[in-house]
Chains A and B, each alone.
Chain A
Amino acid sequence: MRGSMAEIASDLPERRRIEALYELHGREITARLYADCCDRELAQEAAQEAFLKLQGRIDAVREPIAWLIRAGRNWIRDQFRSRRRFADAPMDGDAIIDEVDGPLETVMASETRKQIAMALRQMSVEDRQALVMRFALDWPSARIAAALGTTASAVDMRISRAKSRLAGLLETMGVEGNVA
């Protein structure tokens, strides 16, 4: 999060700076937006829209990462306000299953992936944020704490409880141990 612009040479053309920022933080932005919407395509699209919006104002934005996340969240919010988008959202996980192919099917049964998606949607955004940062971005607790504005111990507690809650949700869905 911090020093994101300092890592990019300021004498580069704006487009190159945005691309460099996208390379450095695009996945982080996508992951954090994913925690909001639980929709891979929507999160990717929102992240790209946010970076495109940065064009022409990169020098005016003080905290580009925070700005990008806000812009992406607002874009997602607008999309969900649209009835059609809302209706198309893969709330039952079917769209996720359809996209699974290749060796991943041998690693994780599509039914399990569907159930994980459904379970994540039943959890709070804060829990999903913490889980995404830990298990998708591999962030240490201190970095997650800085991003969420809390302490590392609180993050550890939140992740522990979130995992427990997820296990309970999966159990109610019939997912048992040794699923992976």
Chain B
Amino acid sequence: MATLENAKPASAAARPSAGVGSWPWVIQRLSAVLLIVFLGVHWWISHFASVGEEITFIGVTDRLKEAILVFVDGGMLLIALYHALNGARNVILDFTLGRRTTFVINAFFIILGIVAFIYGLNALLPFTTGTALFYR
């Protein structure tokens, strides 16, 4: 019968990791705490400070003259993407997969994260510098 006492953890070979130890786990917790703060600011600024006020391009340009809010948006993009994609990765990797599959999944989430981060950051530029790096 399986009990906590005789249950053995799977060997390192059977549980492939990204080779980065427990850092993803630690950063998942740190990003969670930061997200509470950032999401609070994000929601307050864009929805609750002036409930029902229309969000417009001019309005956002005006708001983002405040450097700290550019920092909040960019920082939140990074932290939310990390927390979200690492979380989704955790859900998938709980289904103990092979080494190769794990590598492909890790690579997929890293690339998706980098692409989404650049795509999102690019959209901050029209509000701040006036021109984005690339247009659709």
A and B interact physically: no
A binding-site residues for B, Cβ under 8 Å: none
